[in-house]
Amino acid sequence: MFVRLVYESFRRQKRRKLLAGAAIAFGVSVATAMIGVATDVGDKINRELRSYGANLVVNPQEDTLDVEIAGVNLKPPSDGAYLSETDLPKIKGMFWRNNVVGFAPVLPVNVVVNDVKTETTLVGTYFSKPLHFGTENFVTGVRATYPWWRVEGSWPNDDSRDVLVGERLAASLGQKSGGKVTVDGQPFRVTGILSTGGPEDNEIIAPLGLAQQILGKPGVVRRVYVSAVTKPEDAFARRDPKTLSPEMYDRWYCSPYAQSIAYQLQEAIPHSHTEQIRQVAQTEGTVLSRIEGLMLLVTLASLFASALAVSAAMATTIFERRREVGLMKALGAGGVSIASLFFAESALLALLGGAAGFAGGSLLAYQAGRWIFDSPITIQPVLFPLVLCIAIIVTFAGSVAAIRRAVKFDPVYALRGEA
Amino acid sequence: MSDSASMRRTGAHHTSMFFRMLVRAAVLRRGRAATALMAVVVAATATTAMLNLFVDVQSKLRKEFRNYGANIVMVAREGQSIPQEALAKTESILSGRGIAVPFAYVVARTSNGEPVVVAGTDLDQVRKLDSWWSVTEWPKESHAALLGVRAAAAVSPHGKPFNLYFHGRPISLTPSGTLHTGAGEDSRIYLPLNDFETWTGVRQSTIEIAVSGSAQEVNATIEKLQQALPEVDVRPVRQVMEAEARVLGKTRATLLAASVLIIVTTALCVLATLIGWILDRRRDFAIMKALGASQRFVGGFFAAEAAALGAVGALIGFGLGIGIAAWIGKANFGVSAVPRFEILPVVLIGCILVALISAIVPISLLRQVQPAMILKGE
């Protein structure tokens, strides 16, 4: 009898049930999509923050003082220690290799351009160099680590003898892309004019091999800039790994803190010392936590709003049916059986609406991710039971007051429509 | 019944009756009206909070992005120095919306002849501009120097006073603390600008400027600075500006998507609730028509009722929404969101519109039904 009542109620009141179900489905899909966005937005924004460039720098261990003002190196070229270029692919062999978005080695060389008067720095680096470590192939270089570098003309090939000339230097030399520039007496083709808004505007950027050849030291690099996705720093991140107990050490080592990635870089590259570039590394932590916090609060607010909206819709559908309640009571139904009928209907609605809403919300989050971040936001299937539970709880909460009122009606008034 | 007859005769009577009906309908059916009102309030609250946040959060986030430091840099042209009044002019153009910090650089020698870069600057301003500088102790008195960690190891490994020479002119300095940034600053020695200028005679060559605002505002500032100081180069720091635009754009888009979702959901729920509310009162509708009320009067009555509900709900919701936005701002940014009263008309009109739509749909449905059918309960 009970099952039949519920079944008939759904069969005969299709419009009402559809409306209430749609309200629940809509509320649930918004909630699902928002939960998805809130859990994933940190990771997505973190990747976007990589457009600030490298956040770690690997220096030789026995490093000497830099004497450099606005991109002009004033130190004798023979000075200083170097890292070995052959060690670089090992970066892709470390534990957090997938968090390394890219790296670019640099080798600055003091050179004389065109005539003897113009002294400048030529920096050797990778533009987008294919490398491989073990079976893994990857492409890295300044184009990955410094997305704001712009070239008028074309980028040189990493194996070529072509160079880029910084925009301010080019202006003072009267250099155009496609022309030739004489560096230390040798002519090189200029494929493009580089604009960065930084010290590189006064420099010549060349493939690493060329810089090594001019310096006369094959296979060396001065330092390596690494751009890695990191977790915002906390008190645990700042602990010295040497003082940690073995379990704590494992936890520290396996968290993508800037500190632990720096530590692993030091392990990967012999005789090196890795530092955080604090301007980028420290600031992205604060910016990221603000954006994450904002999204979390907005998600809470939206969950609350969709819960209230669903409750209001449920209250309405039950209120509309007080004549039915009156009839049932007149036929001798008790408060408990009426309430359980309504609760069963609500639960059924919540389950159907919740399932539809979860599917809709997953689709919504997926599309929103593709639209905003060019990479989809996936909802974990683990969330499904959780979302259904929330849907049922919210629907019940919205129904309780209305059901209690419906049960209290005097059937006579309810039937006469005077309630 | 005589009321309804005279209603058509006198306009004044007509209006007073109309309002009496509106008020009595709200008072007598408190429960039903309250449910409908709650739906409107929730929608208005959510809409207000999201719009307020959307407008306000951008300026708050931009402030956070200023932690990345300067977004404009002013440099002297080749072989020249920045004019002395440049800093004052820059500060008057910024008029409190940013920080400008002068820098001057030379290469000095240590007592054993090693070259080291020495910079003169306004240390109090640098502290505000470059919040990521990790400094053990900022210099307070003159002739106290801030040493980059690598420079410190070279010139004063034990924190003892040391001498520097520039073209043979000596200066004796006491290290106050060390500076760690992980970048070029680690190899430099920083002095107060006054000490630096009296020692070397070299003037400032760079002014770093952090100005908050949108990309257009920053570009406008760059143009103003360039016009005021034609003899120097004013350039944007592209690393900072482009990355900021990118991250901020994505955050805004996410927030916008969330706002649209929330607003649409709550609006649909208002629609569903109000349609139910009005359909539920088809007996009132039938009685009015049976008593001779015109179709226009009945339609106007339900529309006015819905609009009043929408307006009241919008006002209550606006207050609540402003409160929620302020709380979110406070909780996340430490500064509560500024109430944006320009949102009020949007929310008000939106709520009334949704309420009117949800009144018109059932009225046009009921129009085709004979009052007798409804009164008989069919």
What does the pLDDT average to over A39-48?
A: 85
Give residue A178's Cα distance to chain centre. Answer: 39
Kindly state whether residues A270 and A315 are assigned to the same domain: no
Return the pLDDT at A418: 53
Percent of chain B scoring above 90 in pLDDT: 8
The residues in A 240-279 lying below 8 A from B, measured between CB atoms, are 275-279
**CB within 8 Å: A306 and B324:** no
Sign of CA dihedral B200, B201, B206, B207: positive
Q: Residue A398, Cα to own-chain centre: how many angstroms?
A: 36
Is the same domain home to A92 and A174? yes
Cβ pair B154, A62 in contact under 8 A: no
Q: Provide CB contacts within 8 A for A411, sequence distance 6+.
A: A325, A326, A327, A329, A330
Any CB–CB contact under 8 A between A1 and chain B? no
CB A104 within 8 A of CB A142: yes
Say whether both A63 and A40 belong to one domain.
no
Say if A367 is an interface residue toward chain B (CB within 8 Å).
no
- Identify the residue with better confidence: B168 or A320: B168
Highest mean pLDDT of the ranges A68-77, A148-157, A175-184, B295-304: A148-157
| Residue B215: pLDDT over 90 | no
pLDDT of residue B7: 45
pLDDT at B318: 93
Q: Indicate the residue of A41, A278, A320 with minimum beta-carbon distance to B181.
A: A278
Q: What average pLDDT score do residues B87-106 get?
A: 87
Share of chain B above pLDDT 70, in %: 93
A293 and B331: CB-CB below 8 Å? yes
A281 lies in a domain? no
Task: Quote ipTM for the complex.
Answer: 0.80
What DSSP string runs through B263-323? HHHHHHHHHHHHHHHHHTTHHHHHHHHHTT--HHHHHHHHHHHHHHHHHHHHHHHHHHHHH
Residues A204-258 pLDDT 10s: 999 999 999 988 888 899 889 999 988 888 888 888 888 888 888 888 888 888 8
Band of residue B317 on the pLDDT scale cut at 50, 70, 90: very high
Select the more confidently predicted residue: B79 or B188: B188
Name the domain boundary from A231, A249, A276: A276
In a domain, A116, yes or no: yes
Q: Domain for residue A282, yes or no? A: no
pLDDT at residue A74 greater than cutoff 70: no
Contacts of B377 in chain A (CB under 8 A): 417
Chain B residues inside the 8 Å CB shell of A68: 117, 184, 187
Query: What letter would DSSP give residue A55?
Result: -
The domain of A97 spans 55-276
pLDDT at A347 over 80: yes
Q: A277 contacts in B (CB within 8 Å)? A: 181-183
Our measurement of the distance from residue B32's CA atom to the centroid of its chain's CA atoms, rounded to an integer in Å, reads 38
Percent of chain A with pLDDT over 70: 94
Percent of chain A whose predicted confidence (pLDDT) is above 90: 13
Q: A388 and A367 share a domain?
A: yes
Please indicate, yes or no, whether residues A254 and A361 belong to a single structural domain of this protein: no
Size of the A and B interface in Cβ pairs below 8 Å = 229
Residue A365 has pLDDT above 80, yes or no: yes
Give the residue from A276, A299, A322 where a domain finishes.
A276
- On whether both A15 and A61 belong to a single domain, the answer is no
Are A95 and A40 in the same domain?
no
Instruction: Give contacts of A 104-143 with B, CB under 8 A.
Output: none
- Where is the domain boundary, A246, A276, A306? A276
A170 and A299 share one domain: no
pTM for the full predicted model:
0.80
Q: What is the reported pLDDT for B143? A: 83
Total of domains in chain A: 2
Contact A279 B130 (CB under 8 A): yes
Rounded to the nearest integer, the mean pLDDT of chain A is 84
Closest partner CB to A301 (pick from B184, B237, B324): B324
pLDDT for res B6? 47
pLDDT at A419 (0 to 100): 45
Chain B nearest-CA residue for A25: B265
- A232 lies in the same domain as A110: yes
What is the distance between the alpha carbons of residues A201 and A196, in angstroms, rounded to a whole number?
6
Quick check: A281 contacting B, CB < 8 Å? Answer: yes
Q: Are residues A117 and A208 in the same domain?
A: yes
Please indicate, yes or no, whether residues A93 and A19 belong to a single structural domain of this protein. no
User: B338: which DSSP letter?
Assistant: P
What's the rounded Cα separation, in Å, for the pair B167 and B154?
Answer: 20
In one-letter notation, the amino acid at residue B56 is D
The Cα–Cα gap between A64 and B190 comes to 18
Residues in A closer than 8 angstroms to B64, CB to CB, are 286-287, 290
Same domain, yes or no, for A23 and A140? no
Nearest alpha-carbon partner for B232 in B73, B106, B70: B73
Residue A358 is predicted with a pLDDT of 92
**Rg for chain B (alpha carbons), in Å?**
35
